[in-house]
Amino acid sequence: MSEPAVHITGVTKRFDDTVAVRELSLVVPRGSVYGLLGPNGAGKTTTIRMILNIIVPDSGTISVLGRPHLDEAVTNRVGYLPEERGLYKKMQVRRVLRFLAELKGVKPKVADQRINKWLERLELTTAEKDWGNAKIDELSRGMQQKVQFIGTLVHEPDLVILDEPFSGLDPVNSQALKDTIVELKRDGKTVIFSTHLMDNAERLCDSVCIVAHGEKVLDGEVAAVKAARGTRNVALAIDGEVSGAVRHVLADPRLVARMDDQNRYFEIELAPKADPQELLRNVVAAGANVRRFELISPSLHQIFLERVGAKGVEEGMSGHG
C-alpha cells in the first residue's frame, strides 16, 4: 500500500502549438477514490490517456502501480472506460467481452465465467432473454453502457480509470455507478475518475486534483482541501419569496465576497473580516424567512468556481505568455 497507484511527475504534452498539459505532477494514493476535476478542455482526457500510455508525454515520468506505465504487466491491471463509448456493433456481446478480457491477459474460460456473472448481475441475462448472445447494435443505449462497463471491469483491475463516467447516465444508472465505485474501493481497488460534476466528486472522492488549462490548480484530500479554506462560507436557505430587500443585503460587498445564488439556497463566501452574525441580522431584518443559516467549509463546487474562475479565465485566455 506504500507505493501510490499513480505517480505523475512534471508531465508536459503539446499538440502542435497548444499545450494540453503543462508540468503536471500528482499522486494518487492506493485504494482511494480520486477525482480529476476541471472544465472542458482542461487536459483531463489527455492526462488520462498519458497514464494509459495511449499517448506519449513530451516530458516527465509516469509510474502506475509502482512500475513504469509502459509495462505490459501494468496495462493488464488497469481498467479504462473512455469518455466516448463504443463497441464493435456487429459482434455478439459475449464475444466482445471475451475479446476485451483476453486483451488484458484473462484466459478465455475464466473470462466466460466472469462475463456470465456480470451479465446476470447487471440484468442483461434474465429468465426471458439472454442479451449476451445478441449483437451490440441490437442493444439499447443503456444496455450498451452496461456492457462497456463490464468490459472495463471484467479483468478485475487494481486501478480503474473512468473518463466522465457520469455523462449520459440516467439517475438509476448513475446511482448504480456510484455504488460500484464505493464497492471497488471497499475491495481495495483504486478508482480515478474525471468529471465536471462537483457534487458527485465531493461525495465520492477521497482526494481530488483540479486542473484548468493544462495546469494543476490544487490537489489533495478533499477534507484537507476544504479545511484549508476555513469556515468562511455560509449556507443560507430561505422559505418563500426572496424579496428585493433581502437581495440588497446579499449584494453588500462589506459582508459578501462571492455568492452562488441557487434561487432559494445561497452559498455565500464572506468578505474578509465580515461578521457572519451581522449578515444574519441584516437578512432577518430585511424580512427573510430563514430556514437555515450555517457556517460551513466551502463546497468543492465553490472552490472550483473560485479557483478556476479566476485562473482559468484570466490567465488561461492570455495563453500563458
Binding site for other proteins (CB under 8 A): 16, 49, 52-56, 72, 75-76, 78, 80, 82, 84-91, 95, 99-100, 102-105, 148, 151
Least Å distance, CB 206 to other proteins, is 24
Helix extents (H) in 154-221: 171-186, 198-204
3-state class of 193 per DSSP? strand
CA distance 192 to 211: 14
Burial class (CB in 10 A: 0-12, 13-18, 19+), 308: buried
The b-or-e profile of 217-240 (16+ CB within 10 A means b, else e) is bbbbebeebbeebeebbbebebee
| Closest distance of CB 96 from other proteins, Å | 9
Q: What's the rounded Cα separation, in Å, for the pair 301 and 201?
A: 9
Q: Are 97 and 168 in contact (CB under 8 A)?
A: no
99 or 110: CB nearest other proteins: 99
The grid coordinates listed for 300 are 468543492
The distance of closest approach from Cβ of residue 94 to other proteins in the complex, given in angstroms and rounded to an integer, is 13
What does the alpha-carbon distance between residue 285 and residue 249 come to, in Å, rounded to a whole number?
10
Q: Which is nearer to other proteins, 54 or 223 (CB)?
A: 54
Shortest Cβ 159–other proteins spacing (Å) = 12
To the nearest whole angstrom, how small is the minimum distance from the Cβ of residue 149 to other proteins? 12
CA distances from 57 to 21, 72, 300 (A): 9, 18, 29
Q: Are strands 256-261 and 78-81 parallel, antiparallel or unpaired?
A: unpaired
Question: For residues 160 and 249, which CB has a smaller minimum distance to other proteins in the complex?
Answer: 160
Spatial separation of the C-alpha atoms in residues 51 and 160, rounded to whole Å: 11
- Compute the least distance from the CB of residue 186 to other proteins, in Å: 25
Residue for cell digits 490537489? 219
Choice between 6 and 300, CB closer to other proteins: 6
Cell of 183: 464497492
